[in-house]
Structure 1
Amino acid sequence: MLATIRLTSGLVLFAYVGTHLINHSWGLASMEALNIGRDIFVTVWRSWPGTILLYGALLTHFILILWSLYKRRSFRMRIWEAVQILLGLAIPFLLAEHVLGTRGLNATLGVIDDYIYEILVLWVYAPEKGILQTVLLVTAWLHGCVGLHFWLRLKPWYRACSPYLFAFAIVLPVTAIFGFVAAGREIKVLAENAVWLEEMTLHINWPDESAVVWVGRWKVVVWQICGGMLALVAAARIVRWAIERRHGIVRLTYPGGRVTQITAGITVLEASREAGIPHASVCGGRGRCSTCRIRLGEGREHVAPANADELKVLKRVGVPEHVRLACQLRPTKDLEVIPLLPPNATPKDAHSKPAHLQGAEREVAILFADIRKFTQFSENKLPYDVVFVLNRYFRAMGEAVNATGGELDKFIGDGVMALFGTNTTPEEGCRRALEAARLMSIALDDLNHSLRADLDEPLRIGIGIHLGTVIVGEMGFSNAVSFTAIGDAVNTASRLEQATKEYICQLIVSEDICQRAGVDLSNFPAHEIAIRGRNQAVKIRCIEKASD
């Protein structure tokens, strides 16, 4: 809930700053255009609904920034997080004098704070304040852009749109500054005319010295309030630290036996950062992306249940039991945790994945294919020729697998492993695997024909297909993560592929494949083959050429 409120208030402030910059950019056209834009701007933001929305959002956003500082147990963070927080804290201090000198004097003394007034103050009489206000606008814009980027980058469509949004984020403040400069030069020339200046002074109801003192006094009050709130947060953190230290130490155990000690109440993500343990967190620990998720081990029975916001994120990505967000979990007892994503996780890892990618038991058809006598072939060829032939072979085999709806598991040396039926029924998977074998045989014939000038003899392959229950999922580490399967059926399919050498044929399929696919292969030789680790022999059919 607080995250939603902070986001909403931030969007309101971002809209205010954005429309303010757009108004500034109209100065490139003329002073008249600038004031027309201001009339529209004021109509929206100085109406009662606009005023309540704007200043309510400003107060809410600042308080929530302070609250986030209080909740933090560690100030170890990424650079972008630190920049965003510092920019957010600086805005009220930079904004106070400008608001009091425009909206404040307009409301109390009836000063007409149009662009002529503002440019006379910020460009003609006190240009140093003009620089300060430019810094304020750019600071507020950057703060909003950073927050918006780290919110939107979790959206699937953002990657395609980000170059255009980045360009807009650069162009708008630049044109706004140029518009302000153009208007400033125009007013400075007009201000050299004493008659015009006197008329504008009367029109504006120029504030006297007492008004300037009033602005200065209330600016100090605003600074003291904001500074006092920051000091209160610092004091509250010290008190909380003292209380938590009295409640003892919590031990967190990470993979590899690494242990870190923390005070009760600190999040697992903060503990990882404090201990220098790399831990994924695309959203910076705001509970949005889910990339910091962990599996709980020993001690999980003492963990408090997830709140509604955390459950919403966990449900979105479809995590199994005993998985939590490290940025939301605050252990009070010793706990074993296992980060589930690599530290270099990206926004795409925040999106939900099909259940079978996260780890599931499936009955699938497994296909292995391997080139015969490839070692002998590679010994008599240059490395370039070996790589060239292999890539042509892998492409041909891969296209055959893709054409039949299979999933390429991996290329192993000169071999191929593919899975069929991960997203369909086992029966359909068996039929697709047989069709893939047929297409692979045809593709090999075409490849041999196109490479006849490079080959001493045609390439020959052996294919083995078996059906069985395996565990499937994305497995690996860092950049070497891929979808694969493990289990006895995988070993059996590999053994059938190797047996094609013994039976001098191109394809061997288990009887289970034939039955489940509904295919009659009774015309082909039947055998039984012993598989290491299995008590019963596997019934097989030997097919001399898969394209038959």
Structure 2
Amino acid sequence: MRLTTGLILLGFIISHFLNHAAGLISLAAMEQGRLYFMAVWRQPLAMVTLYAALLIHLALGLWSLYRRRPLLRVPRWELAQLLLGLTIPFLLVGHVVDTHLAFLATGVDDTYAHLLLTLWRDRPWGALAQTGLLLVAWTHAMIGMHYWLRLKSWYPAAVTPLYTLAVIVPLLALLGFLQGGLQVLALAADPDWLAGYREQIAYPDAEGLARLERMARLGEAIFLGLVILALAARGARRLIREAGGAPLVRFADGTRLRLSPGMTLLAASRLAGRPHASVCGGRGRCSTCRVRIDSGLDNLPAAEAAEQRVLHRVAAPGGVRLACQARPHGDVAFTPLLPPDVDVREALAGGHARSGREQEVAILFADLRGFTKLSENRLPFDTVFLLNRYFAEMGMAVTEAGGRIDKFIGDGVMALFEGEGDPARACRQALTAAASMGGRLAHLNQVLDHDLAEPLRIAIGLHSGPVILGMMGYGAALSATAIGDAVNTASRLESVAKQRDVELVLSDRVAGLAGIDLTAYPGEALEVRGRQTAVPVRLVDRAADLPL
């Protein structure tokens, strides 16, 4: 409901801001744009939808103020969004009264000229308050949009143009509002124009203006009363629940904390001042806050449907809950499963990045042959330059084929190809990358011919099999990688390529899954250390010559 009503209100705001921006053309353009604007938003169905969305969104803001525990120990962006949202009604009431309610209550034609006159000429600080409303409402909306969209896989690529729009739209609206105000002030300097215009729009008399002012003050007082009521309800709830006993939460290091009943485990971490991952802000849209319940699982209510969907998506085992959704009614001990610095990229990985998952992938190892001899008479700078040129070419070959570089090891490369879960596709991607690596290396040798005593040579090993994918390491060395027998085998095949003096050694499994006929290339069964059975392989002199 919060998201849906927020999107409806954002649609209204954007169209309203674009109407403001027409003031950069002329006051007449603003008035013409207003006709189109009203043709959409003052239709009965649109008005009912808009006001319903506004009231529901405000009610949800007050509910959040009542329900959020703790209130202040939350990420700064959450607190900023809440405070901005609670500020909007106090700035908005007067604007609504001046426009639509003035039209309904007094019959005034609430044109742009009328509103601009009111804000820029008749009401002290009116233009400043309207500017504040524009900025506060837009910032509140953009915070919400960002923390919703950043969980979408396409968002990182689109964030720059979206950010540009997020700056340009309110800027144009403010400039149009300023230009329109200056035009109206210039017109109002003529008393005859002012009197005639007010007669034309049925400008309300003193009694009508007083009624509108009372309506504005009443609206502000009602919302202020609701805010005070929500805060008072928080205090009453705490007193009532603490009288009935509060649950005790124990952290992994043995620290204990007594909670106000109804608090979530995520709130417990925040109250204790402990960093706790929560990419979506505790809204149950990601799995980064998940915890293992060490004891007291029976003291948690059963997971609701939304939480169950998230846990199912990450294949969470029994005893794992989302900390932002779990509200203990008795003593509980828990341990967060993800580090507090987990980022959006790992959240988009479906939650498996830290815990690991099994998947069949294609693994490629590549290594420069004789590079130690090649670099021994070079200056360190020249060696780094040469390696970086080589890594750039090999990296582009891998990424363009659909794989990803797992790591660079000295002058070697390890790459993984997941094929979006399809082993056959992963193997085709890996073969394409191997062929491209061979071609790119030949081109690099031509470019650097004047600087190389002998051409660069490469050895590639390629195999496919089930591995465990996950985040492994510690601290700054933590990275996403793969472990398993298939990784060891691929590394061994790369060593064999050096021994047999060929560019590529690949297992028959890769060729079979990829559907490529390599019977024209010599084959053998290799004994690989750690494996009980031999690995059938094919030896390819030039990877670029693969019949893809």
Q: Note whether the superposition's TM-score is higher than 0.5.
A: yes
2:292 match: 296
Task: Give the Å deviation of 1:88.
Answer: 2.0
Q: 1:345 to 1:209 in 2, by over 3 A?
A: same
Cα deviation, 1:230-263, whole Å, max 9, x if unaligned, reads 1111122122223444433332535xx4756351
1:15: how far off? Answer: 3.6
Unaligned runs of 5+ in 2: none
Structure 1 residues 304-383: aligned runs within 5 Å: 304-313=301-310, 318-322=314-318, 324-332=321-329, 333-340=331-338, 343=341, 345-346=343-344, 348-351=345-348, 359-362=356-359, 366-371=363-368, 374-375=371-372, 377-383=374-380
Aligned to 1:165: 165
Q: Which piece of structure 1 moves more, 534-543 or 378-387?
A: 534-543
TM-score, normalized by length of structure 1?
A: 0.77
Give yes or no for contact 2:287–2:310 (8 Å, CA) kept in 1: no
2:222 maps to which of 214, 220, 225: 225
Asked if the contact 1:251/1:260 (under 8 Å) is kept, the reply is yes
For residues 418 and 40 of structure 2, the distance between their equivalents in structure 1, rounded to whole angstroms, comes to 58
Residue 411 of structure 1: CA displacement?
1.8
Classify 1:438/1:354 alpha carbon distance in 2 versus 1 (closer, same or farther; 3 Å). Answer: farther
Q: CA deviation at 1:511?
A: 8.3
Q: Does 2:43 correspond to 1:56?
A: no
Q: Deviations over 1:293-329 (max 9, x none)?
A: 42425238434333233345556x5554455443333
Q: How has the CA–CA distance of structure 1 residues 208 and 477 changed in structure 2, closer, same or farther, with 3 Å as cutoff?
A: farther
Distance 1:300 1:169, change over 3 A: farther
For this pair of structures, how many residues does the alignment match?
532
Closer, same or farther: CA 292–265 of 1 in aligned 2, 3 Å: farther
Please say if residues 441 and 545 of structure 1, whose CA atoms lie closer than 8 Å, have aligned partners that are also in contact.
no
**1:66 maps to which residue?**
62
Residues 1:442 and 1:154: Cα distance change in structure 2 (over 3 Å) = closer
In structure 2, what residue type is equivalent to 1:410?
K
Give distance in 2, aligned partners of 1:536 and 1:294: 40
- 1:144 aligns to what SS in structure 2? helix
1:169/1:299 CA distance change after superposition, 3 Å: farther
CA shift in 2, pair 1:448/1:409, >3 Å:
same
Are 1:11 and 2:4 matched, yes or no? no
Contact in 2 for aligned 1:18/1:141 (Cα 8 Å): no
SS at the partner of 1:177? helix
Q: Which amino acid aligns with 2:338?
A: L
- 8 A Cα contact 1:514 1:520, kept in partner: no
CA offset at residue 515 of structure 1?
10
d(CA) in 1 for partners of 2:272, 2:420: 42
Secondary structure at 2:302's aligned position in 1?
A: coil
Question: Does the aligned pair in 1 maintain the 2:353–2:470 contact within 8 Å?
Answer: yes
TM-score calculated relative to the size of structure 2: 0.77
Residue aligned with 1:336, SS: strand
Structure 1: runs of 5 or more not aligned: none
Deviations 1:114-164 (A, max 9, x none): 445444443333343343334334433433343334434444254264144
> Alpha-carbon deviation of 1:72?
0.8
Mapping 1:234-313, distance limit 5 Å: 234-245=231-242, 246-253=244-251, 257=253, 259=255, 261=257, 263=259, 264-288=261-285, 290=286, 292-299=288-295, 301-302=297-298, 303-313=300-310
Aligned pairs (5 A) from 1:131-170: 131-155=128-152, 156=154, 158-159=158-159, 161-170=161-170
Of all paired residues, the percent bearing the same amino acid is: 41
Measured in 2, the distance between the counterparts of 1:207 and 1:440 equals 78
- What's the offset of the Cα at 1:451? 5.0
The letter for the 2-side match of 1:184 is: V
The answer as to whether partners of 2:9 and 2:54 remain within 8 angstroms in 1 is yes
Structure-2 residue corresponding to 1:90 = 87
Deviation string, structure 1 residues 54-88 (Cα, Å, up to 9, x no partner)? 33332222111010111210222344333332222
Question: Which piece of structure 1 moves more, 171-180 or 295-304?
Answer: 295-304
Deviations 1:331-387 (A, max 9, x none): 4442323343662613x5554659899743345565544445544554432111222
Quick one: distance in 2 between partners of 1:406 and 1:468? 15
Equivalence for 1:175: 175
Report the CA distance between 1:14 and its aligned residue: 3.1
